Amino acid sequence: MYSYFIRRFLLMIPTFIGITLLCFIVTRYVPGGPVEQAVLRYQQTMANSGEGGGGSSGSDMQQGQISEEMMNQLKAIYGFDKNPFEAYLRWLWRVLHFDLGTSDTYGRPVWDLIVEKFPISIIFGLSGFVLSYLICIPLGVWKAVKHGSAFDTSSSILVFIAYSIPGWTAGVLLLMLLGGHAFLDIVPSGNKESGFINESSRLALFLQDGAQVADLPEEIRKEFPKLRDNQTINSNHPAFKHVPADKHFKLKTGSHSDLCIVGRVLDTMWHMILPVFCYVLGMFASSTVLMKNSLMENLGQDYVRTAFAKGLSERTVIFKHALRNSLIPIATGLGHMLSLILAGSYLIEKVFNINGFGLLGYESLIARDYPVTLGILVIGSMLKLFGNIVSDFLYCIIDPRIRFS
């Protein structure tokens, strides 16, 4: 078994190179790249300033053109001045040294952007992933036990309806119905936390104590030059302890950072309701059907009939014998979910305006920010490759009969 996993790890190398090389070459030749966009911005600037493109004469049109020297400089800036394969080898060498380059849009290292956005997507994606499995496994088992009953029929209708609706589409509909856009105003309309909490909000009960910056001693204010007299600080601010106790007051309005720990948790959970529901909707339907069919197939095997013939109870046969073998198909997709947590979040994060890993990839792709796009490709492909190995490893844990010799 050890030799099998060693071979799988070694096979990841050519697979990773094949994935990244193909996508890298596509970015070299797809139209509308960063060089073309830079040229377009230059021509638009010239046209708006009246220096080029303002008239219809040939001389005016020539003034809006990019010289060959400037074009070569632009290609050098964006890394398009080299042969695609040479450029790929240079890029791959930087990746091996954990350097994904600098974003053309944000002007920041790609690693910093990914590290900043990654936890947000993990929180939402992992919550939906765990909830979907907590729902699909018991529901699939119960549907298999009650096969053909009214419960099985009615739940199958709901499962197939959920399977036919993409998560992001359900998000749009739920926002219209429950987000205050058309009907009810029950849940937030987006983001991962509240930007402003007014007095009528129930979260206002969890606002911390505050104080005016003007009440700070003069020597303390010099340590915080960015603070202004008309600003309010909460009890978490390091300068708050220097405000006289009689100047403290209960905040009536504020933001997410002004809430206590309990309030921040409740605020985050409140904003997670709809996005996590959309994650669950996209994951649990197929897993439920797979769990039911797998368990029904195992219940028809000879070893199950033998267990019943020995006088074992139905509960023991199902949960001790049949269920373990039925979990093997579920384990197949468990490792793949490592990448699906991120891949499936692109449109959901766009719908709910969650500034996470998925939205970063979506906006980078639209803006032709290739360093960020390729950086996300590196993370996604590595998660996919490791997920395949995790799935094989789970095979061995669930079913000891499986060997990879």
- pLDDT 10s digits, 207-225: 888 888 888 888 888 888 8
Q: Is the dihedral of CA 87, 92, 97, 99 positive or negative?
A: positive
- What is the full DSSP assignment across 251-268? -SSB-GGGB-HHHHHHHH
Burial class (CB in 10 A: 0-12, 13-18, 19+), 156: middle
Give the pLDDT confidence score for residue 16 in this predicted structure.
Answer: 92
% of the chain surpassing 70 pLDDT: 89
In a domain, 324, yes or no: yes
Domain range enclosing 242: 208-251
Q: In what order do the strands lie in the sheet with 249-250?
A: 232-234, 209-212, 249-250
pLDDT at 17 over 90: yes
How confident is residue 374, by pLDDT bands cut at 50, 70 and 90?
very high
Q: Are residues 230 and 358 in the same domain?
A: no
Average pLDDT, stretch 262-277? 88
Q: Are residues 349 and 281 in the same domain?
A: yes
Q: Whole-number mean pLDDT of the chain?
A: 82
Q: Is the per-residue pLDDT at 384 higher than 80? A: yes
CATH number for 313: 1.10.3720.10
Enumerate residues 6+ apart whose C-beta is below 8 A from 62: none
Count of C-beta atoms within a 10 Å radius of residue 122:
16
Q: Which residues contact 90 (CB under 8 A, 6 or more apart)?
A: 79, 82
Q: Is residue 158 part of a domain?
A: yes
Q: Is residue 293 part of a domain?
A: yes
> For the whole prediction, is pTM greater than 0.85?
no
Question: Does residue 352 sit in the same domain as residue 280?
Answer: yes
Of 95-109, 347-361, 387-401, the range with the highest mean pLDDT is 95-109
Amino acid at 164: S
Q: What is the length of the chain?
A: 405
CA 126 to CA 271: how far, in whole Å? 15
Confidence (pLDDT) at 197: 86
Give me the mean pLDDT over the 370-399 stretch: 83
Whether pLDDT at 156 is above 60: yes
pLDDT of amino acid 14: 92
**357 and 277 co-located in one domain:** yes
Residues 218 and 348 in one domain: no
Q: Is 174 helix (H, G, I), strand (E, B) or coil?
A: helix
Picking from 216, 251, 286, the residue at the C-terminal end of a domain is 251
Separation of alpha carbons 41 and 371, rounded Å: 20
Q: Which is more confident, 284 or 139?
A: 139
Tokens of 13: 């190398």
Kindly calculate the radius of gyration of the chain based on its CA atoms and give it in whole angstroms.
Answer: 28
Half-sphere exposure of 303 (CA within 13 A, CB side): 11
Average pLDDT over residues 138-156: 90
User: Does any domain span residue 44?
Assistant: no
Smallest CA-to-CA distance from 24 within 381, 264, 285, 334 is with 381
Least confident of 135-149, 264-278, 345-359: 345-359
The answer on 174 and 127 residing in a single domain is yes
Number of domains in the chain: 2
110-145 vs 345-352: helix axis angle to the nearest 10? Answer: 110
